[in-house]
Amino acid sequence: MEKHKVLIANRGEIAMRITRACQKLGLDFVCVYTAEDSHSRHVHLARELGGGLYRVSSYHDANELMAVADASFATAVHPGYGFFAEDFRFARRVTQRERGLIFIGPSWRVIRELGDKINTKRLARSLGVPTVPGSDKPIYDEMEAEHVAQSLYDFQLSSGISQPTIMVKASAGGGGMGIEEVQDIGMFRSVYRRIRNYALRNFKDEGVLIEQRIRDFNHLEVQIVSDRSGKNPVHFGTRNCSIQSTGHQKRVEVAPGFAPAEINYSFDAAGVLAEITEHSLALARKVRYDNVGTWEWIVTRDGRPFLMEVNTRIQVENGVSGIIAGIREQEGVDIIAEQIRVGLGEPLGYTQADVSLSGVGIEYRIIAEDPAAGFAPWVGRIEKFAWKQESWLEMYTQVPVNEPYDIPTEFDPNLALGIVWGKDMEEAKMRGVAFLDSLVLEGADSSGNPLKSNISFLRAKTADILKF
Amino acid sequence: MIDVEKKLHRLNDRLAYIKDIFAGKQNEAVRMLQVRLDDFQARVAEMSAQERLSAISAMEELFTFMEQKLDEQLSPMDKVRIVRHPQRICLRDILENVYDNYTEIGGQDDKSIDPSMLIARAYITRRRGKALHNQPVMVIGQETGHGDEFRNGGSVKPWGNAKALQYMKVAEIENIPVHTFVFTPGSYPIEDYPGAAQQIARNLYEMAGLKVPIVAVFSEGGSGGAEAIGLADRRLMLSHGYYSVISPEGAAAIEGRLRDGTRAAPELIERCALQLKMTAQDNLRHGLIDQVVEEPPLGAKPYHYEFFQSLRNELMRATDEVVLTTRSFALLRGAISQPHRPKSLENYNAENFVTRWSLSTKARDRLVVLRQKKFRNLSNGRWIDPRTSFDLMLTKIQATSTDLLNLFRHDLWGRRKKQLGYAVEEMDAGARMLLHRIFNPFFSFTRELFGTKPRAKIAEELTTLSSWEEDGSKNGTWSYISSKAKEDRAVTCPNAAKYGCLDLWAPDLFGEFAGVCTHCGYHFPMGYKWFMYNVFDPGSIREFNQEIEATNPLNWDGFDAKLEQAKQKTGLKSGCITFEASINNTRMCVALLAASFRGGSVGVAEGEKFLSAIERAQRKRLPVLAYVHGTAGIRIQEGTNGVIQMPRCTIGVRRYIDAGGLYLVVYDTNSYAGPVASFLGCSPYQFAIRSTNLGFAGRGVIKETTGLDIPPDYHDAEKALSRGHIQGIWDRRDIRANLQQALVTMGGRNLYYK
């Protein structure tokens, strides 16, 4: 492999994992940090391993990152997750600037194509990949809108749904703005007009999407990896991310997505898993997907999957897929290292036949929050943080274990990711509980109240994993 | 003795006045007068009464003789000093001496709404034998007084112009002529409610269609302020007045590229005054005024009663002429309105002939048509058109055939078709109603039987790919990308300190974002080509009249080179690009003022192109869009030829709107002065891109003329919106969609697609 230097444009545990992956691949790297993060372990690690280290004013400032890249003679940029990970303009800028860099992630056209939900839905439909029933284009005409809404209503009734619900959302919106649900079809017209006018005022586009509102589902993901040729994507199995906080933030992720051998489902679970991986690979081939990505699905209680969106980045929970996967004789896959390797242009070097999946992995997101109070974040100083090392446990954290740590409030709240592996579900559950029991997380906030964490919530939820 | 003292005093006054006019210039004649007067004063005590009387009348004769001699040497700048002198006649002197009776409206000296605009209802009484004929007139004009501070030197505030407009309309209702007197160095350039430009534009627009005779007299005619009441059927000018696009000082400041606060050298001002060709004689030669009223040597002063008599005569004659030209049948008196009136009528005394000044309905319409025609022909030919007369003839034939075609298509056939369509619609609706009442019970029954679709069909509709034609501009793909988008650099938003905008990468900013900061919405200026190639349907642009070329009608020193440079730099021949283009297949006529060509200033060529575009649109029933990429005002180097484009183009707009078109104006960057105060500012539908600064005069000029320090956002689009000058602020990325919307929802009856 050519000698590359990777700018790690992120923070916290993902920056640490990317740093380690670079070290493993024998690549130079350079890290950035902001003033609030100066005590984060990713900074310590960068110092320890002798990489470049630059202080920036913000992880969001592309100009500053480019300046760091030039000053440190970096040749590639890894965006991690969040920040610039799914920003096609950043990817385009990185590759098209005068001193071009490699963007470790899909090419910007792919990010743009799959970043648009309508476009993704249309691509999926063009391949016969199942998507949520409803419109796949912005609707501008009131007659058409009413027609679609009525059809959706009839359709849900005839599929045995007693309380049909229709979602009306501004096609140019996002982040939960301009979305409303309609349960009474008689109310549709007024809701439609409200959303349309809202969209016209706020997004200068009165297009509206009308879809079925699906309730009672499991959230599944398919992990895809492909090299720059875009022709031969492989998958590393599925994940089930259905255990979430009340704000629909993931807390526990399990690989694989279902356990048909151990749990009875009302539908053909193995068939659904096979179906969604096949569909995901088909779409990846169609868009010539050329890096690591996650295909997000929802599966209803009667076993019908619908593609929701594609995350064109490495995800937090990639490790849980990595821990159950293997390539040829090697056990466990470092998906981040794979991402960097193919990102820099190396061919994948293996096919789906070389990939094996074994056992069950559980990832816990350990967060200082109060599940009893609507998962309200807790802010303060961590005094003590320890756990028992095990061969079946991987722990990723930016929190230092030998000194107190003030939780920064500017970033996402993950303190640590604990990933356990068991040869079957029972063993994994047992080990998961054992891990959570061994975990010590203590601290106090500014007024002396003890630290609150979600550990007991995670322990309670362990019993229910993979149950629909 | 007392009599001699008085006369001596008058002579001293006259000498002081002469000195003021020649402003310290060394002049042999002035010095001689001084010596002789001093000498006389030294000797006067020793003289006998008889000697005194004869000596003083000799002195007076000498003064009169010398004044006549000096009058021939007057430079344009001397004339400027004459009209600005406190001894210069003012409008009140005219009211006292020219009219027989008058009532000032709203005037209690400085208590008036704007003391520099004077309105009066006046009478001119004509006597024929024993019969008296009182002829009412609305007199409107700027009042300077004899140096009255509160008159502001005749510089009228926007509400003063509004007052003028109000009483013009009163005159229209009362069917009496309007006499306007222009005594202004320029308008007071503030942006209030309304702004200066906004109000002048309104005045011009209304005067373009005012249905009573207007006669204007120019004494001091400075730019926009003059135009606000100067659009008249007959334009007289006092022989010592000036009428110009800008004051000589202003021209010198621009020529010398002076910064705020520094004053131009007197020589430069003198030279500019000469080059502006602003005297009555120059303006008459250029055909921009109709007639010069001769003043006494060195200018009219309040005691020149013969002058007032001749002014009265000329005013009556001019009004008579206007009235008579509108009569279809004027018998013998028609002869006085002929351009070459017979010798016998040269000394025609208007006092003795009575012409009624109120007009019949038909005559009023004819009056407006004549006025519009008159202005259409002003400044004709002062541009370069390399087309041969054969080419021009072809164009003319083409235009005429379009006229005929449109007459048939829209007026004859189109109207019938519409009427037929309405009739069919009516019958159809009636029939449906009937059928509904007969068959309704059956219909509801059949709907229940066959109305619902099968489930599989519904499922297919809801889960498979539908067809969709996507509009490319929605996701930031533009067909034309600015060359600024090719530089690899970061651009800092000027609002970064205020809103914390991150620096933007130039290829993103000038490419996909169309020059708009994604964080705060700040609009960076873009070239006019961006607009041309991204707003209209690709390939739909057909330029016309591109041959018309800006020129240097006054032979302004060094301006040829500057023009050539601008032509080289931009590849354009004038600052106005006119083309036909379509938006979603709706054709429209566009006149674009490009800021890159001498600041988008408007001269004769630009005015002519704008007018032809408007006329073309009227012929072809197209909507018109004036896209102001930027304009710095009227091109000063073209002098009064430039400023005449204000009324000229406004009249074109007025005719077009009256004919039932749609006139849209969109401003993009800095748009100031003359054009905004006339043919742009008069549109009922004006919109501004967020990057617009809109107003009458820039910061420096406002400081210079009013002493006011204006806040930084004084001219920005939001302020213009709150003043009511514009009707909306657009995001640059939405121009196309908004225009599309405008075409659908606005416009008169006479558009081809309506």
pLDDT in tens, B470-484: 655 455 678 898 999
Partners of residue B466 in chain A, C-beta under 8 Å = 135-137
Q: Cβ(B717)–Cβ(B688) under 8 Å?
A: yes
B512 in contact with chain A, both atoms CB, cutoff 8 A: yes
Q: Which pLDDT does position B436 carry in this prediction? A: 84
Which of B73, B74, B70, B71 has the alpha carbon at shortest distance from B32?
B70
Strand intervals (E) in A171-291? 179-182, 208-212, 217-225, 234-244, 250-255
Q: Which pLDDT does position B107 carry in this prediction? A: 80
Give the chain A residue whose CA is nearest to the CA of B467.
A137
In the predicted structure, residue B443 carries a pLDDT above the cut 70: no
Output the CA–CA distances (angstroms, integers) from residue B307 to A196, B98, B119, B310, B365, in the order listed: 72, 9, 22, 5, 34
Task: Choose the catalytic residue: A17, A112, A313, A431.
Answer: A313
Nearest-CA distance from B517 to chain A in Å?
A: 14
Partners of residue A61 in chain B, C-beta under 8 Å = 502-503
Residue spans of the domains in chain B: they are 2-73, 83-376, 389-442, 472-509, 526-745
**Computed over its alpha carbons, how large is the radius of gyration of chain A?**
23
Partners of residue B458 in chain A, C-beta under 8 Å = 151, 154-155, 158
- The CA distance from A256 to A237, in Å, is 6
Give the chain B residue whose CA is nearest to the CA of A306.
B463
- With a CB cutoff of 8 Å and minimum separation 6, the contacts of B235 are B215, B216, B218, B288, B289, B290, B291
Which of A250, A260, A255, A167 has the alpha carbon at shortest distance from A215?
A167
Tokens, residue B106: 């709203």
Output the CA–CA distances (angstroms, integers) from residue A327 to A334, B358, B512, in the order listed: 10, 103, 42
- The CA distance from A102 to A95, in Å, is 6
- Strands of the A217-225 sheet, one edge to the other: A305-311, A292-300, A217-225, A234-244, A250-255, A360-367, A414-422, A393-397
Which residue in B462, B502, B505 is closest to A155 by CB distance? B462
Q: Which pLDDT does position A461 carry in this prediction? A: 95
- Strands of the B663-667 sheet, one edge to the other: B542-543, B576-583, B586-593, B624-628, B663-667, B685-689, B728-730
Q: What is the DSSP string of B233-267?
A: SEEEEEEEEEEESS-HHHHHHHHTTPPTT----HH
The H-or-E segment that residue B30 falls in is: helix B28-43
Other C-beta atoms lying within 10 Å of the C-beta of residue A422:
18
- The CA distance from A175 to A181, in Å, is 15
In this complex, do A155 and B455 lie within 8 Å of one another by their Cβ atoms? yes
Q: Which pLDDT does position A175 carry in this prediction? A: 65
Q: What is the pLDDT of residues B342-366, one digit of tens each?
A: 666 666 677 777 888 999 999 999 9
- Find tokens 């933030």 and name the residue: A249
Angle at the Cα of A158 from the Cα atoms of A156 and A160, rounded to 5 degrees: 75
Tokens, residue A311: 């995350």
In the predicted structure, residue B451 carries a pLDDT above the cut 60: no
Q: Cβ(B93)–Cβ(B108) under 8 Å?
A: no
Q: What is the pLDDT of residues A375-414, one digit of tens each?
A: 999 999 999 999 999 999 999 999 998 889 999 888 878 8
Query: Would you call B211 exposed, middle or buried from its count of C-beta atoms within 10 A (0-12, 13-18, 19+)?
Result: middle
- B238 band by pLDDT with thresholds 50, 70 and 90: very high
- The CA distance from A233 to A337, in Å, is 16
Q: Which pLDDT does position B344 carry in this prediction? A: 60
Nearest-CA distance from A286 to chain B in Å?
A: 16
In the predicted structure, residue B337 carries a pLDDT above the cut 80: no
Terminal CA-CA length for chain A: 45
- The CA distance from B181 to B309, in Å, is 16
Nearest-CA distance from B736 to chain A in Å?
A: 12
- The CA distance from B641 to B236, in Å, is 16
Tokens, residue A125: 């439909």
The mean pLDDT of B643-650, rounded to a whole number, is 94
HEC string of B532-553 equals HHHHCCCCCCEECCCCCECCCC
Q: Which pLDDT does position B632 carry in this prediction? A: 92
User: In CATH, what is the architecture of B83-376?
Assistant: Alpha-Beta Complex (3.90)
Give the chain B residue whose CA is nearest to the CA of A57.
B502
Q: Cβ(B511)–Cβ(B478) under 8 Å?
A: yes
Burial B280-303 (b: 16+ CB within 10 A, else e): bebbbebebbbebbebbbbbbbbe
Tokens, residue B471: 């509009």
Query: Would you call B395 exposed, middle or buried from its count of C-beta atoms within 10 A (0-12, 13-18, 19+)?
Result: middle
Tokens, residue A383: 């005094």
pTM for this model (two decimals): 0.85
Q: What is the pLDDT of residues B121-167, one digit of tens each?
A: 999 998 888 888 899 999 999 999 998 888 888 999 999 999 999 99
In the predicted structure, residue B322 carries a pLDDT above the cut 80: yes
Partners of residue B487 in chain A, C-beta under 8 Å = none
Give the chain A residue whose CA is nearest to the CA of B738.
A204
In this complex, do A131 and B737 lie within 8 Å of one another by their Cβ atoms? no
Q: Which pLDDT does position B25 carry in this prediction? A: 78
Which of A280, A271, A272 has the alpha carbon at shortest distance from A235?
A280
Nearest-CA distance from B478 to chain A in Å?
A: 16
Q: Which pLDDT does position B471 carry in this prediction? A: 59
Query: Would you call B694 exposed, middle or buried from its count of C-beta atoms within 10 A (0-12, 13-18, 19+)?
Result: buried
Q: Which pLDDT does position B252 carry in this prediction? A: 87
**Computed over its alpha carbons, how large is the radius of gyration of chain B?**
31
- The CA distance from B586 to B664, in Å, is 14
Look up A304 and say whether it is catalytic.
Answer: no
Sign, Cα dihedral of B716, B718, B724, B726: positive
Domains of chain A from N-terminus onward: 5-104 (3.40.50.20), 133-212 (3.30.1490.20), 217-462 (3.30.470.20)
Q: Which pLDDT does position A1 carry in this prediction? A: 55
- The CA distance from A291 to A227, in Å, is 6
Q: What is the pLDDT along chain A (468 residues), one digit of tens a residue?
A: 568 999 999 999 999 999 999 999 999 999 999 998 998 899 999 999 988 999 999 999 999 999 999 999 999 999 999 899 999 999 999 999 999 999 999 999 999 999 888 899 999 999 999 999 999 999 998 999 999 999 999 999 888 888 999 999 988 776 677 889 999 888 999 999 999 988 887 777 788 999 999 988 999 999 999 999 999 999 999 999 999 998 888 999 999 999 999 999 999 999 999 999 999 999 999 999 999 999 999 999 989 999 999 999 999 999 999 999 999 989 999 999 999 999 999 999 999 999 999 999 999 999 999 999 999 999 999 999 999 999 999 999 999 988 899 998 888 788 999 999 999 999 999 999 999 999 999 999 999 899 999 999 999 999 999 998
In this complex, do B462 and A134 lie within 8 Å of one another by their Cβ atoms? yes
In the predicted structure, residue B265 carries a pLDDT above the cut 90: no
- The CA distance from A403 to A384, in Å, is 8
| 697-736 in chain B: CB under 8 A from chain A | 731, 734
Q: Which pLDDT does position A364 carry in this prediction? A: 96
In the predicted structure, residue B449 carries a pLDDT above the cut 60: no
Output the CA–CA distances (angstroms, integers) from residue B341 to B334, B337, B348, in the order listed: 10, 7, 10
In this complex, do A134 and B737 lie within 8 Å of one another by their Cβ atoms? no
Q: What is the pLDDT of residues B16-73, one digit of tens each?
A: 999 999 877 777 888 999 999 999 888 888 888 888 888 889 999 999 999 999 999 8
The H-or-E segment that residue A274 falls in is: helix A269-286
Q: Which pLDDT does position A27 carry in this prediction? A: 95
Q: What is the DSSP string of A360-429?
A: EEEEEEEE-EEGGGTTEE--SEEEEEE----TTEEEEE-S-SSS-EEPPSSS--EEEEEEEEESSHHHHH
- Find tokens 């730019």 and name the residue: B223
Nearest-CA distance from B729 to chain A in Å?
A: 13
Same topology, domains B83-376 and B526-745? Answer is yes
In the predicted structure, residue B301 carries a pLDDT above the cut 90: yes
Best A60, A89, A147 member to test B by mutation, with max B CBs in 10 Å, is A89
Assigned CATH for B526-745: 3.90.226.10
Which residue in A93, A134, A154 is closest to B508 by CB distance? A93
Q: Which pLDDT does position A184 carry in this prediction? A: 87
Partners of residue B731 in chain A, C-beta under 8 Å = 204
Q: Cβ(A269)–Cβ(A260) under 8 Å?
A: yes
